[in-house]
Structure formats: C-alpha cells, structure tokens
Structure 1
C-alpha cells in the first residue's frame, strides 16, 4: 500500500525526503518518518471495508456507539501523546467523524443512496474550521475521505448505476451477488468506463498536487489515493467474487 501510494498515485519514490516540515522522531521500524501519517491515513481508509461494513450490517447500534471510545482514545493521544503519537491522535479524531457518518448511513439509511453524501458530510463545517488550527490533520483526513466518497457516488450517478444500489442491498442473499455482478459488468461499457477513467485521472492529478503542498495535505492525498485503490478492489470483487463484497 505504501509503495502504491508513492509510485502510482503520488508519482514520487517512497524514499523521497519530505519537503514540508519534518515529523518528530517515531521509532516504527523502517517506515520513513515523513510517511507515518500518510500511511496511517491509508490504513484507516481501508478499515470501513474490512471491519465497519460487516459490523454495521450485524450490529449497527454497537458499531455506532463505538465512536465514543474511539474518540476518547483519539483525544487521549492528542492530549498526552508525545511527538507523532499526538499527531496520530489528531488523525484519529478525523477518522472518528468518518466512522460515525458511515455507521449512521449504512446502519439506517443504506437503501437511500441520495442520503449517503449528506450524512457522511455531517462534520464538514468542523473539518473546514479545523484546518486553521490544531485539528488540521483531522480536517485534512476527513475532507480527503469525503472527497473520495463524493467522487465514487458522483461517478455512479453519472453512469446511471445509482438505481441499482437499493436493488442490490434489498435483494435476497441468493440473488444479490448476481445483481452486483451485473452492475459491475455495466461499468465495463464504453461510457461508464470512460467516465471512471476520467475521474480517476483527475483524482490522481489532485493527489499529486496535494502531496506537493506537504503537511496535512499529504494525509488528504493518501486518503483520496487509497479510496481509488479500494474502489478498484471493490469493482474487481464485484466482477469475480460478488459474494465476498462488503456491500452485501
């Protein structure tokens, strides 16, 4: 994941020295200091796929209430952590917002795709306000994750796939994989495929630009870039093994 973000998304080798302010020392093996927070952001973007989705599906209230200890741990790290551990705490604050938005939507509004982005964006004013102070890493991560979500939903809507969303989720378990696979096959048609390629290209350009700005914007670049990778993984799973998809 670390090499993918640098070589394929950001266009720079993973050993390139950061041009922004150097991070404090964090003795975490061979991970370069400047890559700690972007790598952490990339890993956090994958959490909803492998942990949150199945948890919300089986116990939405428990997954939602988990936001409380998650936020408490993040604030504890931010207040009492040293060096990069404190910055990781700030990053977790932003992740807590994304986690809560995801739980609310997938737990109670999953059959209404038009509600997806508004619910996920509930903390948008706080994230924008946080960019100017001590919470800028949290704001950058939240905004990067939200941009990835908005891009995915926008492409689905433009490609005419949004109507299939509630049909797949509302279908019996025996039929849902076939419906999901059919939706994935529609993506391979010329117009949706061209639209996806254009959107992915624009997001890659944006990732490079954000990375060049340094500081918290590298966290946003990692979040957007990892969202692209996760979307590609999801499309591949929908085509080859739809029953393994976290959407069903």
Structure 2
C-alpha cells in the first residue's frame, strides 16, 4: 500500500521539460507589422497614387503591353516582400497597388476613348479586395486599393455632374498638342462655372472627410486607406493646374 502511494506520488511530481524560449526569428508577424511607422505607410500610399499617375500614363500610351506585363513584376515583388516579416508591410501595400496598375494599364492602353469603361475597369480588383478584407488578410494593400478606387469613383462622378465627359472623349481622339490645349481650356471654363465650383467644393469636402476620419484609429491599414483617398485631391489639383497652364 505504501509502495503504491509512493509510486503515485513520484509519477505526479515528474519534472516537465521546460519550454524553450521563442527565438527572435520566430517573432509573431503581427509584431513586425506593428513596428512599421504609420506615417511612413501613409506617405507611401500618397506616393503610390500620385506619382505613378504621371509615370504610367505616358508609358501605357506608348508601350501598353510592357505596362501590362509590369503588373506581373509588381505582384512577384509584392509576394517576395511578404515572404519576409521585416518587409511584409511593403509587400502587402504593393499588392494592393498592383490592382491599380493593372486596371490603369488595361484602360489607358486600350479603352481610354470611352469614359464609361473607366470605373468598371478600375474596379477589376474589387471582388478580390473585398474577399481578402472579409478574411482579414492583406488589409494594408487591400484598403489602399479600396481608398484609391473610392477617390477615382468620386472624381468620375464629378466629371459626369459637370459634363466634362465630352472633353474627355475629345482629348483621347486628338494628337496635336495645340488641339489638346484648346480642349483643356474649354474644360477649365466648364469647371469654373458656379455649378462646377459648387460640386468641386462638395467633392473636396467629401474626400477630406472620408480621408481624415479613419486616422484617429491609428491602424496601419486605415493610414493606407486615408493616404490613397487624400492623395486624390492632390492628383486632381495637379491635373487642374496642368489644364490651366496648357
């Protein structure tokens, strides 16, 4: 009886092997993501919306197939970056940018003569982005894409409301710089009407509100979204300035 009791006690006090401490290489991915400065993600989102507009647009008109092929390069690079915890955030953001680049290559390369196709083509990545957001995967890149798409949609709505679509079609059909300048001047005159100015103000307020409201949440995917939305104002202003100076 005593021997049985002692055996049971010895078994119950058997030393459990200590768990080895987690190595630095196994730090959770979420910690790596959280270590990236939010303002840097915001700045990168602004860059990826504004600067490529002036790079992809001329490239796609002269080399549409090359511009389209670059999409595969962006996707490859994004997954390459996402395979490393230290660069995961930038790969995530670049993957969202790849959808915008793909849509821009398709539309401005082959469909730019018809404004009605602009928003449907720009929405090419929408089902994928919504699917990923619902599953909480790739939040930074997909929210960047959604912000960029929203800014594009509001700008297109302005074009329809102010009746700028005819000028869009005319510009896409002429080659002479002189003719383009004349059409742009006519479009600016349309924008400067009371109707055009009121809707421009409404558009700016809407973009500012949508872009600023998520920032207090201090989450990186919202900074990417806000950067994409707010940079739409910058791009629109630059286009307007170019039209005025034409």
In the superposition, the TM-score normalised over structure 2's length comes to 0.83
Q: Could you tell me how far 1:172 is from its partner in structure 2?
A: 3.0
Pick the structure with greater CA Rg: 2
1:37 aligns with 2:47: no
Question: Structure 2: 5+ residue runs without aligned partners?
Answer: 1-30
Distance 1:218 1:80 in 2: 22
State the match for 1:15 in structure 2. Answer: none
State the match for 1:68 in structure 2. Answer: 72
Q: Could you tell me how far 1:50 is from its partner in structure 2?
A: 2.0
Q: Could you tell me how far 1:109 is from its partner in structure 2?
A: 0.2
Question: Structure 1: 5+ residue runs without aligned partners?
Answer: 1-20, 27-32, 243-248
Residue in structure 2 matching 1:150, options 144, 150, 153: 153
In the superposition, the TM-score normalised over structure 1's length comes to 0.82
State the match for 1:120 in structure 2. Answer: 122
Distance 1:104 1:209 in 2: 32
Distance 2:67 2:174 in 1: 23
Q: Could you tell me how far 1:227 is from its partner in structure 2?
A: 0.9
Question: For each residue in 1:75-104, what CA deviation from the matched residue of structure 2 results, as whole angstroms up to 9, or x when unmatched?
Answer: 10001241xx21010000000000000110
SS of equivalent residue, structure 1 residue 64: helix
Query: For 1:73-152, what aligned pairs fall within 5 Å after superposition?
Result: 73-82=77-86, 85-131=87-133, 132-152=135-155
Q: Could you tell me how far 1:138 is from its partner in structure 2?
A: 1.4
State the match for 1:59 in structure 2. Answer: 63
Distance 2:32 2:91 in 1: 18
1:191 aligns with 2:233: no
Q: Could you tell me how far 1:69 is from its partner in structure 2?
A: 1.0
State the match for 1:223 in structure 2. Answer: 228
Contact 2:49 2:231 in 1 (8 A): yes
- Report which of the two has the higher share of helix: 2
Contact 1:63 1:103 in 2 (8 A): yes
Contact 1:101 1:121 in 2 (8 A): yes
Contact 2:50 2:234 in 1 (8 A): no
Distance 1:233 1:175 in 2: 20
